[in-house]
Amino acid sequence: MAIWEPEVKHLHLHMIRNWSCCLASAVAVCNAAAFAQDRPSAYPTRPVRILIGSQPGAGGDMIARLTAQVLSDCWGQNVVVDPRPGGGGVIASGMLAKATPDGYTLLQSGDGLMLQGATKRVPFDILKTFDPVVASTQQPYILMVNVSVPAKTVKELIAHSASKPLPFAGSTGVGGTVHLGMEKLSKLSGLQLRHVTYKGSAPALLALMGGEVIVGVSASLSATTAIRSGKVRGVAALGLTRATSLPELPTIGEQGYPGFKITNRYVVWSRAGTPRPILQAINRAVIEGLNTPQIVQKLAADGSEPAERSTPEQLRAELTLYFAELERQVKELGLKF
């Protein structure tokens, strides 16, 4: 894999440069004085850490850094992103599970955190151990192939897999959103895949670009840049609507599988028991910061958007229902982890 490192570093550098203006916008539009009055007087008095289960340069890393910048600018306190890749996010969530419930250690995760609980990959109850604080952004996943693969549509990809399963990499590991979603698509369509695990979306995308695997799925934030680089080809947007950053790419619903989707929403979590005023302050600051016109425009260019506004209480109620649905899906598909 080392021979491809310069290309992936260039890809990540390009993505980071594209987001530098977005981070600057967060500084310019944040009303620090207003937010300062809207938080507990004793919080934060020292740096806040946001754990992520992905590597630097991945889509989750970019969103976490944007969220960190919003909070830092609004509070005048350092907020740092701490990447802990590996285990499909289990390493990062395990660290939060051991953290003090004081708001100084947070975790940003996609839907993969819920899947950790639904597939029993962690020794604790997700919804009892963590408090959901705020949903930051949401974006579709993109189904891609290495440019050596002749398939340009889902139908052609299924036909290409008929003779033998195609090596496939997802961005969230075993039991993650992509793995579970693609297992469901395989049963639905007959697409034959052999799942290959990596430590995160960055190495998975690297493997796809280099031909180590020939099918991959990444969130639109990472996939858009990779497709535009010419190293991979988009086959389908896995949301219910086309990705705003790739409007020419048909959805999988348009290609014969209406209603099927694999989407991702990033949620910030804290250790259960964190004081409610702290949860509310983080929630308000992130929502207001990410819904400024400059940031909304930049997110749309990369196929993302701010998540729907919700309080911590509303988010918990929604995620409780979602967790029950995930458990049902895992049982229905007969998946073992």
The CATH architecture of the domain made up of 140-237 is: 3-Layer(aba) Sandwich (3.40)
Tokens in use for 281?
């302050």
Residue 30: its pLDDT value, please? Answer: 54
Q: Which residue has the higher pLDDT, 273 or 62?
A: 273
Does the pLDDT value for residue 15 go beyond 60?
no
- pLDDT per residue as tens digits for the range 221-234: 889 989 999 989 99
Measured CA to CA, the distance from residue 226 to residue 141 in angstroms comes to 13
Residue 6: its pLDDT value, please? Answer: 40
Does 140-237 match 2-138+264-333 at the fold level? yes
For residue 3, the number of C-alpha atoms closer than 13 Å in the C-beta half-sphere is: 4
For residue 5, the number of C-alpha atoms closer than 13 Å in the C-beta half-sphere is: 3
Q: Once rounded to an integer, what is the mean pLDDT over residues 155-176?
A: 86
Q: Which residue has the higher pLDDT, 325 or 320?
A: 320
Tokens in use for 165?
């399963």
Give the global pTM: 0.77
Residue 129: its pLDDT value, please? Answer: 97
Instruction: Name the least confident of 35-49, 275-289, 314-328.
Output: 35-49
If you average pLDDT over every residue of the chain, what do you get? 86
Does the pLDDT value for residue 39 go beyond 90?
no
**Extents of the domains making up the chain:** 2-138+264-333, 140-237
Q: Once rounded to an integer, what is the mean pLDDT over residues 204-215?
A: 93
Does the pLDDT value for residue 10 go beyond 60?
no
- pLDDT per residue as tens digits for the range 91-104: 999 999 999 999 99
- pLDDT per residue as tens digits for the range 126-152: 999 999 999 999 988 999 999 999 999
In this structure, which topology does domain 2-138+264-333 adopt according to CATH? D-Maltodextrin-Binding Protein; domain 2 (3.40.190)
Query: What percentage of residues in the chain have a pLDDT greater than 90?
Result: 60
Query: What percentage of residues in the chain have a pLDDT greater than 70?
Result: 86
Residues 6+ apart with CB under 8 A from 307: 135, 136, 137, 138, 265, 266, 267
| Rg of the chain over all Cα atoms, to the nearest angstrom | 19
Residue 171: its pLDDT value, please? Answer: 60
DSSP letter string, 302-325: TT-EEPPP--HHHHHHHHHHHHHH
Does the pLDDT value for residue 7 go beyond 90?
no
